[in-house]
Chains A and B, each alone.
Chain A
Amino acid sequence: MAKQSPAPNWQDLALGCATLEAGSSKYQKTGDWRSSRPIWNFEQCVKCGVCTVYCPEGCLKMNADGYPQVDLDYCKGCAICVTECWTGCISMEEEKD
């Protein structure tokens, strides 16, 4: 449904609700499905990057200091990073809002 902020009126939809713009999925903040978020204990993290490789959403990146950083706009809280982290430095925390 492309870049739509605020949500469109019906008159503004493209013919057949087509998406006319390439790469528009970035506008869908699918992270709002999440019921819990990953939290890193950086004292324990060895900067191996395994979590970034296994993240199915591609929303984990290494930051300037070399630690993994999560993009919460797209993280769905699947916890695969927690399962794959061999140091056990990631835990899930329930979303409160």
Chain B
Amino acid sequence: MAVRKGIESSLAIAEAAAACNVDCIAAYPITPQTHIVEHLSELVNDGELDAEFIPVESEHSAMSCCCGTAAAGARTFTATSSQGLALMHEIMFIAANLRLPIVMTVANRALSAPINIWNDHSDVMTERDCGWLQIFAENGQEATDLVPVCHRIAEDKRVLLPIMLNFDGFIVSHVVEPIEMLDRDEIATFLPDYEPQQRLDVDYPITMGPVGMPEVYTEAKMAHEAAVQNAYGPICEILDEFGKKFGRTYKPVETYKTEDADIVFVMMGATAETCMSWVDKVRETGKKVGIVRFRLWRPLPVAAFKEAVKGKKVLGIIDRHFSPGGPGGPVAQEVKYTLYGEKDAPKVVEVVAGLGGRDIDFDTFDNIFDRCQKVLDGGTVPPFELIQARGGHYGKI
């Protein structure tokens, strides 16, 4: 029987990885992810987890090492944040196109400069195109539950792709929550032993990562695109199975009180939990507002998202990263992509907030709601704006 206990989310995530009976962890410590790999190294050292813990000299080595162990057929886990993820950058693409089912938890944190250890989504969003599956948890329970789910998805013979499990640094990683912990026996009923489809084996030699000449590179990318798109079905199936087995159901796109709402906020991560409390509060004053949250980010759940915002008038999108000199934040860009050309598509009000640990509180939601209300009342749609910048957004009064 699962035990519910007060535990720091990072430690619960490490316990979940251990309960998945991972074979190999190659990692380098970085705030705010450190407690995860620190705890895993303790579990290995204390003999509670029979795995290789490889303390490498950098994140570039960590991801390279993970590629090696996954290619050898080991269930492989690692974790990182921010600069660490950036240092893994070139190996991220290799892990993805070699179809190595690595699970990596990312405690999302801002990128330097200026150096900042606090939470936003700039680390993961700059890795958006690396070809990994990407999923966002909003609290410690969800992050813990999604560890075995991610191993199941990554290792599914129909998928065979690495997967990145994101959650907000500190806001989720360092918070002590009541978390229902699944033990090894329970997880074993959901996550079978890993049987690699293809691995490095001296008796049956193969080459992984050969050169891809111009005659074949495009086809290699097409095969990768098909793999990521085709993962959607198995992802839904596996999330459903987890829900039926353990009572906590997770969907690719989550909605909260959207049924009667004209204005819907769209965001990812823990911000949505704060927003749920705000929605409950303002609904008492008659404001019909709801939330749509992307849990799954790659593959982008286009159909599920369209269904979730069908008939809505205005979307208020909160991005926690943006491209300087570009078209605003990634969530807003991709939402617009899903809606472009759709009949009666909702109008999109986009803001960037919560950069480098700046709090997103009820006042922030009030501010965004006012912008949406103006558009709902017939006002023009404003361009994207860093709403929390003192001095105002550049070029705006």
Contact = CB atoms under 8 A, between A and B. Distances in A.
Interface in A1-46: 1, 4, 7-11, 13-20, 22, 24, 28
Given A1-B212, A1-B213, A18 B206 contact: yes
Q: Which residue among B97, B219, B222 has the maximum number of chain A CB atoms within 10 Å of its CB?
A: B219
A96 B43 CA distance: 67
Interface of A: 1, 4, 7-11, 13-20, 22, 24, 28
B115 interface: no
Contact of B220 (A17, A22, A28): A17
Nearest to B161: A16
7 contacts: A4-B216, A10-B226, A11-B223, A13-B219, A16-B97, A19-B206, A20-B206
Contacts of A16: 97-100, 160, 198, 208-209
Given A7-B219, A15-B198, A17-B220, 14 more contacts: A1-B210, A1-B212, A7-B216, A8-B216, A10-B219, A10-B223, A13-B216, A13-B220, A15-B160, A16-B198, A17-B97, A17-B209, A17-B212, A17-B223
Interface in B199-237: 205-213, 215-216, 218-220, 222-223, 226
Given A7-B216, A8-B216, A17 B210 contact: yes
Contacts of A14: 198
B211 A1 contact: yes
Given A16-B99, A16-B100, A10 B220 contact: yes
Q: In terms of DSSP, what is the predominant structure of the interface of chain A?
A: loop
A9 B219 contact: yes
Contacts of A9: 219
Interface size range on B against A: 20 to 34
Given A1-B212, A1-B213, A10-B226, A19 B219 contact: no
B277 interface: no
A18 B223 contact: no
Contacts of B206: 18-20
B189 interface: no
A13 B222 CA distance: 10
Contacts of B215: 1, 7
Nearest to A2: B210
Contacts of B100: 16
B285 interface: no
Interface in B158-182: 160
Nearest to A12: B219
B205 A22 contact: yes
Contact of A18 (B208, B218, B222, B226): B208
Contact of B197 (A7, A15, A22): A15
Contacts of A22: 205
B228 to A, nearest CB: 13
Nearest to A1: B216
Contacts of A1: 210-213, 215-216
A43 B206 CA distance: 46
Contacts of A20: 206
Given A7-B216, A19-B207, A13 B223 contact: yes
For the complex of A and B, the 5 pairs showing the least CB-CB separation, nearest first, are A16-B99, A10-B219, A19-B207, A10-B222, A16-B98
Contacts of B208: 16, 18
